[in-house]
Amino acid sequence: MKRRMLIVVLGTICLASIWVMTTFYRSQMMKEAAKAVTAGEKYAFEQAFQRVLIGQQDDQSSSQVAEFERDRMPRQPIQLGLHKREAFIHIDLTTNQSLEAAERFLSQVELFGDVKYSTSVREVSRGNYQLTMTFSDIKDQLAFRFGNIPTITLRRMEPLTLAVLPGKSEGAVLMLPESRESRSLYITEGLGDILLQFSEPMIRKEEAGRSVDGYPAVWLDERTISLDVRKVNRTALDLTQFHSQRGNYLPQEYRYVALYKKRPLSWLSYPESKVVGFSSFDSFYEQLIPSPDRESYLGIIDRGSSKSRRGGRQVALVLEQKGRSPLLIEPMLEGTALSRHSTIDWLDAGRFLYVEEKLGTVYNLASGEKTPLFDESSTGSIALEMAVDNVQGSIYVIFVRSAGDKNLYRLEKRTYRLHDLKLEKTESLGETLLHPREQLPAFPIKVRNDGVYYTVPGGQENRTVFVSRKGKSWATEGEIVWATDSGEAVLKRQKSQNAKKYMFWKIGGRQREVSLARGEVLAFGPYLVAGDGLRYQVWDERRKRWEPLELAEGDIRVPAAQRTPLYARER
């Protein structure tokens, strides 16, 4: 009996052992099979993979952070900076599998970090797919890897910054924003090298110390590149290609940096021909507007044609003060400061006003504060001209606003108190036609000691009205161009659409035509000047004729000037 029981127990043990061994073997076989499937899918992913693009985005825009082709993938784990709120990756595949099979590849992307994400797959063309993962709520960093690529980490960073400095040669350098995606780099001709100085130690890619990423430049240290601008002629630089040692980079607007070379200029007063400019940036200015005490001036840089209105100009406004570095007030004004309109002027030695179509801003030199004089962004009114009346203690601004009918606008003159900027009164000046996106009409206003000249709409032609300090007024046909303090003015008359003539007008008298002069007639402070950009003449009131403008021969620039006559001469 005992023997039989022993045999039964041993048999049971043997059967159990066989079952355990069989189960273990089957388990191992299943694991090996699973490994084989995973390896196969991983291999398939690696074979199908073509490119990964890493980007970032927010509500305003998206931009690329990095891009890697399959044969140029990093060999070691890398870190890249993340500047925007969200990140995304696009993985391009080429495979003969279905869209659903391509979508399953997304499960092989390993993520590290507390982050929310969404996925999508699209077939770009037959057999070519793009897998997309978008990441949000990124706290500090996220990392991912797939196939045989190493781990790529995206870490939040403040963008890399750049200082652009003059190099060994004498000259000036100024970088300005051109748009949300580009920058303009201004340099004076004759400059040899400029220094690009990054805010962090950089990854130096250099071949025998001769060039940096194809540019005529060398690294001076881990943060500074010396670029030979003599070998770069109006070339767009891509400065986002440079990365710091911790994976940071410049913002997207440095992807396209347009280089502008300017001839060295000096600004002089007329008729003394004394140098009045004291800034290294003077060569970049199309016009200088001195303060009443001559201790400061405004420099206007031409940024090209307006993108919103035909005939308008975009300008940058720079404040120059003795003993201080130049201060960029506005990098891009949508205005008409370089045309026949007057939109920038000093209120006194400590304040100036600059006017855009919808906004008038007063800048205080002592505090650095900007105070709005008016804001018409929600009213539809457009500012055309401005003038400062120190005798009356007033600021005049000419506006047009819709009259209700298509393209019909009312012209009005607003008067603000000079000392506290308060609106004092609004006067109607008539109605005019204004076509959207077309060149803004000119209704100039000029202040003189004996009164104020302003242009108003007329029937066939605009008219000029003069109001004396005693309140008397006179009117005549034409647009005011220039006036003296003793009741004499020059008006522009339109003979036809493309032809014009200039007329002298003595207050209360009849008009007489100005004798023929070469080029455009303009106000040059207290002087009347005519020129075509090459030669200039000045009106001699005593002899009643045009005379050559002294020092006007050669390469000079004579801009219109409301108060102080200044001209630029090449050095």
pLDDT, one tens digit per residue, over 414-454 is 999 999 999 999 999 999 988 766 778 889 999 999 999 99
Q: What is the pLDDT of residues 271-300, one digit of tens each?
A: 998 999 999 999 999 999 999 999 999 999
Q: Which region among 120-134, 260-274, 431-445 has the lowest average model confidence (pLDDT)? A: 431-445
Q: What's the pLDDT score for residue 39?
A: 64
Q: Which region among 40-54, 379-393, 404-418 has the lowest average model confidence (pLDDT)? A: 40-54
Q: What is the DSSP letter of 280?
A: T
Q: How far apart are CA 278 and CA 295, in angstroms?
A: 10
Q: Is it the case that residue 335 has pLDDT exceeding 80?
A: no
Q: Which region among 379-393, 453-467, 512-526 has the lowest average model confidence (pLDDT)? A: 512-526
Q: What's the pLDDT score for residue 208?
A: 45
Q: What's the pLDDT score for residue 431?
A: 93
- Whether 315 contacts 302, CB under 8 Å: yes
Q: How far apart are CA 171 and CA 163, in angstroms?
A: 16
Q: What is the pLDDT of residues 41-78, one digit of tens each?
A: 777 888 899 999 999 999 888 999 999 998 888 889 99
Return the closest-CA partner of residue 414 out of 450, 368, 460, 379: 379
Return the closest-CA partner of residue 504 out of 516, 492, 518: 492
Cross-strand partners of 545? 540
Q: What is the DSSP letter of 169?
A: S
- Whether 391 contacts 398, CB under 8 Å: no
| Cβ contacts of 372 within 8 Å, gap of 6 or more | 359, 360, 361, 362
- Position 223 confidence tier, pLDDT thresholds 50, 70, 90: very high
Angle at 90 between CA 84 and CA 92, to 5 degrees: 160
Structure tokens belonging to residue 403: 């009259």
- Whether 381 contacts 396, CB under 8 Å: no
Q: What's the pLDDT score for residue 405?
A: 81
Q: What's the pLDDT score for residue 341?
A: 72
Q: What's the pLDDT score for residue 42?
A: 74
Q: What's the pLDDT score for residue 33?
A: 35
Q: Is it the case that residue 12 has pLDDT exceeding 80?
A: no
Average pLDDT over residues 82-91: 95
Average pLDDT over residues 186-201: 92
Share of the chain above pLDDT 90, in %: 57
Query: Would you list the DSSP string of 379-392?
Result: T--EEEEEEEETTT
Average pLDDT over residues 261-270: 92
Q: What are 304-308's contacts with CB under 8 Å, separation 24+?
A: 306/334, 307/334, 308/334, 308/437
Q: How far, CA to CA in Å, does 449 sit from each of 217, 271, 388, 487?
A: 58, 22, 12, 10
- Beta carbons within 10 angstroms of residue 101's beta carbon: 14
Q: What's the pLDDT score for residue 213?
A: 67
Average pLDDT over residues 94-120: 89
Q: What are phi and psi of 91, to 5 degrees?
A: -110, 120
Structure tokens belonging to residue 224: 């500074």
Structure tokens belonging to residue 423: 């609106």
| Cβ contacts of 77 within 8 Å, gap of 6 or more | 150, 151, 152, 153
Q: Is it the case that residue 16 has pLDDT exceeding 80?
A: no
Q: What is the DSSP letter of 554?
A: S
User: What pTM was computed for the model?
Assistant: 0.82
Q: How far apart are CA 157 and CA 347, in angstroms?
A: 43
Between 270 and 405, residue with greater pLDDT: 270
Return the closest-CA partner of residue 357 out of 339, 377, 340, 371: 377
- Whether 91 contacts 102, CB under 8 Å: no
**Mean pLDDT value across the chain:** 86
Residue 245: HSE in the Cβ half-sphere, 13 Å Cα cutoff = 7
Q: How far apart are CA 334 and CA 437, in angstroms?
A: 13
Q: What's the pLDDT score for residue 496?
A: 64
Q: What is the DSSP letter of 160?
A: P
